[in-house]
Structure 1
Amino acid sequence: MSDIERRLADIMLAKLRERDASSGPDDLTRPIADLDLDSLDLVELHQQIESELQVKGDLRETAGFAFLDDFSTYFMKLASRG
């Protein structure tokens, strides 16, 4: 796992643990609909990732993601562009 992947996982796990302290790495591959996250949580997650990685994403795009690992894939691409 690269440094960026680890940072993304840490950010996403922190967001999940705000709702459920027992959340773990396996939850990162679950459908968002199965997690206790609302649209505000997803916007906050998006903004936290942007801030951490110093990139700018498109909220309209991430709003349609079905899985948390979609965030990871999307933001990895943005971060690799520099």
Structure 2
Amino acid sequence: MSDIDKRIADVMLAKLRERNPSLGPDDLTRPIAELDLDSLDLIELHQQLESNLQVKGDPNETAGFAFLDDFSNYFAKLASRE
């Protein structure tokens, strides 16, 4: 796992554990709908990933993501361009 991937996973796990402390790394591949995340949670996740990685993403694009993997892939691509 690259440094960027680890940072993304850490941010996402922290967000998931705000809702349910028992969630772990295996939950990072689950559909967002199964994780009890609402639209505000997803906006906060987007902002936290931007801040941690020092990138600027498009919230309109991430709003349509169905899986947490989509966030991981999107932000990994953004961070690798920097």
Give the TM-score normalised by the residue count of structure 1: 0.98
Aligned twin of 2:23: 23
Equivalent residue pairs, number: 82
- Structure 1 unpaired stretches of 5+: none
Aligned twin of 1:52: 52
What are the superposed Cα offsets for residues 43-80 of structure 1, whole Å, 9 maximum, x if unpaired?
00000000000000000000000100110100011011
Aligned twin of 1:6: 6
Q: What CA RMSD, in Å, does the superposition of the two structures yield over aligned residues?
A: 0.4
**1:19 partner letter:** R
- Structure 2 unpaired stretches of 5+: none
Could you list the runs of 4 or more consecutive aligned residues of structure 1 that deviate by over 3 angstroms after TM superposition? Answer: none
